[in-house]
Amino acid sequence: MRPAGVALAIFVCLCAIAALPLARAEATDAAKSESTGSGLQFATAGVLAQFTVTAKDESGVRRTSGGDEWIVELDGTRSLTGSVVDNLDGTYQVSYTATKSGSYEAGVKLAKSGGLTGSYFENVWFFYTPVKVTVDPQINMDWGTGLITPTGANYISVRWVGKVKTQYAETYTFYATTDDGARLWVDSVPLIDRWDSYCNETSATIALKANVFYDIKMEYKQVTGSAFAKLSWASQSTPKEIVPSSQLYYETQAKKSPFSFIVMPNVANGTRSTAAGTGLAVATAGTGAQFTIQANDMYDNERGEGGDVFSVRVYPPGSIEVRRMPAGGSLMWSR
């Protein structure tokens, strides 16, 4: 109860409450991006295998949108490329089907347009650790008689590697213009080899598909004097030009890449399995004869363990004893 004549004033303070900032993923960092799934551990010949790549930024924050270019290459008994599907949520589904059993390595790489990785050596044989590694937007160099590396102008070698992607399904002519030597590979095909002579401008052609990543590697050697290196191309729809940086891609490995895994043989296939031994050609009455059955799957992979059952019939019928003796992946029989 307040005294008479005293007014009661009530003040309400409205304060703006600032929302805490949420972590927002930046550009994808391959070294922080993770690959998970059984397809990185084992697979069966002829059976689809899968794993997932989760894109993260340099702070380890998961990206929630797609748009990255991931390349998955599997090398082992046979080389193949994984199919990558962008789930548009920062994850990418990778699928592959290997038909040859054995040990493999899966390289998971993020490809970014903007040039090729150049490694610079202060010798002409690519010996030792490169003194400089950088992303060169184009191979369009003219050093004159100046420095190529921080300390060297002569007796230098440079190797550029990455991917090239064309816009058209056409035959492309590649031109290497250098002083001194040059070598060029596209899709692992040696196109130009002018390593021991002044290259000037040398060209070669190759048919390429549209919007497909192809391996590209160019090597350059500077001995003495003026130095320059240029890589151009042309096709029916592409006027001759220096290969643009938008069509050149440099690669960085994903976290823990490359991954080692095993492809196991599929189930035994009778028509692909083989039999060999003298017991298939000649035998002596009352004496054991032998031959070996090698169990193979439908892709001609040898089965590495026993347990398969084969039926053996000998004609004409008579008193016959058939014995099975496992020997690794082979089955031994006698009659």
Residue 24 pLDDT level (bands cut at 50, 70, 90)? low
3-state SS class at 80:
strand
What integer pLDDT is reported at residue 307 of this predicted model?
82
Task: Look at residue 277 and tell me whether its pLDDT is greater than 60.
Answer: yes
What SS3 state is found at 284? coil
Kindly report each contact of residues 274-281 with a partner whose C-beta sits within 8 Å and lies 24 or more positions away, as own/partner. Answer: 279/333, 279/334, 279/335
Using CB atoms within 10 A of its CB, is residue 116 exposed (0-12), middle (13-18) or buried (19+)?
A: buried
Determine the average pLDDT of the residues in 94-107.
98
Contact by Cβ (8 Å): 232, 79: no
Strands 156-165 vs 248-253: parallel, antiparallel or unpaired: antiparallel
Q: What are the C-alpha distances in Å from 281 to residues 132, 217, 275, 276, 285?
A: 67, 55, 11, 9, 14
Partners of residue 183 on adjacent β-strands: 193, 219
As a whole number, the mean pLDDT across the chain is 89
pLDDT in tens, 113-138: 999 999 999 999 999 999 999 999 99
Residue 160, beta-bridge partner list: 118, 218
Mean pLDDT in residue range 281-309: 87
On the question of pLDDT at 332 being above 50, the answer is no
| Tokens 């130009």, residue located | 192
Token representation of residue 183: 């070598």
**147-153-159-164 Cα dihedral, nearest 10 degrees:** 40
Sequence-separated (6 or more) residues with CB below 8 Å from residue 233? 172, 173, 174, 175, 240, 241, 243
Q: Report how far residue 100's alpha carbon sits from residue 20's, in angstroms, rounded to the nearest whole number.
A: 54
Residue 236 above 80 pLDDT?
A: yes
Q: pLDDT band at 25, cuts 50/70/90?
A: low
Which pLDDT value is given to residue 323? Answer: 57
Mean pLDDT of 237-265: 98
Token pair 């202060």 in the structure block, residue: 122
Spell out the domains of the chain, with CATH numbers in brackets. 30-112+256-264 (2.60.40.10), 139-243 (3.90.182.10), 266-335 (2.60.40.10)
Sign of torsion over alpha carbons 101, 106, 112, 115: negative
* pLDDT bucket at 23, cuts 50 / 70 / 90: low
Per-residue model confidence (pLDDT) at position 319? 56
The DSSP 8-state label assigned to residue 236 in this structure reads: T
Q: How many residues does the chain have?
A: 335
Least confident of 176-180, 212-216, 231-235: 176-180
Find tokens 């390349």 and name the residue. Answer: 71
Its sign, for the CA torsion 177, 178, 180, 181, is negative
Contact 217, 166 (CB under 8 A): no
- pLDDT score for 217: 99
Q: Tell whether the model's pLDDT for residue 330 goes beyond 90.
A: no
Contacts of 236 (CB under 8 A, 6+ apart): 168, 170, 171
Is 5 or 243 the better-scoring residue by pLDDT?
243
Q: What is the mean pLDDT of residues 149-174?
A: 97
At residue 207, the 3 state secondary structure works out as: strand
pLDDT at residue 141 greater than cutoff 60: yes
